[in-house]
Amino acid sequence: MERSTATLGGGCFWCLEAIFSDLQGVLKVIPGYSGGHVPNPTYQQVCNTETGHAEVVRIEYDSAQISYEELLEIFFSTHDPTTLNRQGADEGTQYRSVVFYHDETQKQTAEKVMERMAELWEDPIVTELTPLGEFYEAEQYHRNYYRLNPQQAYCQMVIGPKVAKFRTKFADKLRASR
């Protein structure tokens, strides 16, 4: 196994966690916060845009099974990277599209994928490409939110349709048992 890590933000971290947790080769997905100036922020602080942090997921994966490039292709296919500080009805800097790269190789891969994926969108990609600083894990109740709260309205109206579309488009990348 070749354990690697990616950190991505593209709207609500509940959506990203639900999508990336389904992938073959993904070992763990942890919701959290990154990119701001306040150490150990709370969800409430991040939602009030007091911290500068984005909602992100830290994805631990086996790069022998799934590549960083594949993760980025899925990332850019499952959220709108052309809207600044918003995804659907979720609005604010905490919902910005951002790739926090861990090293120069990830940065170069992200630049290549962003250039290629730009052709799929009518508007320009506004995703930030930023070196990873501190990552702060979100509160425990955010973990596996979609799986544990399927009847919650946001899960039914926003996450559910997004996950269903993802599962159809990337069926060949899903883990055998979900």
The angle at the Cα of 36, spanning 61 to 45, to the nearest 5 degrees, equals: 105
Question: What tokens does 48 get?
Answer: 């009030």
Catalytic residues: 12
Domain boundaries, the chain: 3-173
Query: Using CA atoms, how far apart are residues 51 and 81, in angstroms rounded to an integer?
Result: 22
The pLDDT of residue 178 is above 80: no
Query: Crossing angle for the helix pair 104-117 and 68-77, nearest 10 degrees?
Result: 40
The pLDDT of residue 93 is above 90: yes
Is the Cα torsion angle 39, 143, 84, 74 positive or negative in sign? positive
DSSP 68: H
Q: Is 21 helix (H, G, I), strand (E, B) or coil?
A: coil
In percent, how much of the chain has pLDDT > 70? 99
The pLDDT of residue 49 is above 90: no
End-to-end CA distance of the chain: 21
The closest of 24, 55, 30 to 42, measured between CA atoms, is: 55
Evaluate whether the domain defined by 3-173 bears CATH number 3.30.1060.10: yes
Question: What is the residue-averaged pLDDT of the chain?
Answer: 95
pLDDT at 177: 60
What does the radius of gyration of the chain's CA atoms come to, in whole angstroms? 15
Run of H or E including 145: helix 145-148
Q: What is the mean pLDDT of residues 6-17?
A: 97
